[in-house]
């Protein structure tokens, strides 16, 4: 294990302890699902159509909802890979914001994702990834992993 991964885990378990503890609880609930490591994060695949990042833990959907506008331009496999880079970007936000992550990133991101007012905006073509928390996660995920993220995909 290299020093970057050790530091990543150490910081998530100290500075990012609040979201990591929440992530651990969700991990235990999903213990029977498929798990693997990605740049130090513990990834869990699950069925719900949404994904979430909580400190050291990332819960990705095996069923990403995809808008018809990108259906023929990107494969499901590529979409899942890009979504993982995006979600990993949220774990980097956890490293940056520590105990403020849930307030600065988590709550606004959740409201953006689930409030009907914002869902209606996205139904009219506004990209989910245009919101500041999501755009920043894309940037950080790409910067750290050197892989492509979601850009402004409409999903």
Confidence (pLDDT) at 72: 55
Confidence (pLDDT) at 154: 62
Q: What is the pLDDT of residues 24-51, one digit of tens each?
A: 999 999 999 999 999 999 999 999 888 9
Among residues 82, 96, 81, the alpha carbon closest in space to that of 138 is found at 82
Confidence (pLDDT) at 71: 52
Confidence (pLDDT) at 69: 47
**Are 60 and 83 within 8 A, CB to CB?**
yes
Q: What is the pLDDT of residues 47-90, one digit of tens each?
A: 988 899 999 999 999 877 655 445 557 777 888 899 999 999 99
Confidence (pLDDT) at 144: 97
Confidence (pLDDT) at 122: 85
Q: What is the pLDDT of residues 93-142, one digit of tens each?
A: 999 999 999 999 999 999 999 999 999 988 888 888 999 999 999 999 99
Confidence (pLDDT) at 68: 46
């Amino acid at each position: 294990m290299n020093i970057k991964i050790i530091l990543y885990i150490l910081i998530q378990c100290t500075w990012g302890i609040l979201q990591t503890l929440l992530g651990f609880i969700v991990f235990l609930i999903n213990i029977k699902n498929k798990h693997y490591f990605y740049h130090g994060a513990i990834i869990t695949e699950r069925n719900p159509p949404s994904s979430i990042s909580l400190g050291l833990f990332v819960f990705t959907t095996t069923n990403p909802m995809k808008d018809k506008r990108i259906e023929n331009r990107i494969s499901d496999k590529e979409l899942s890979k890009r979504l993982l880079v995006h979600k990993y970007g949220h774990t980097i936000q956890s490293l940056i914001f520590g105990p403020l992550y849930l307030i600065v990133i988590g709550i606004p991101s959740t409201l953006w994702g689930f409030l009907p007012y914002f869902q209606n905006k996205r139904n009219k073509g506004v990209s989910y990834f245009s919101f500041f928390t999501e755009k920043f996660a894309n940037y950080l995920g790409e910067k750290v992993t050197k892989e492509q993220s979601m850009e402004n995909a409409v999903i």
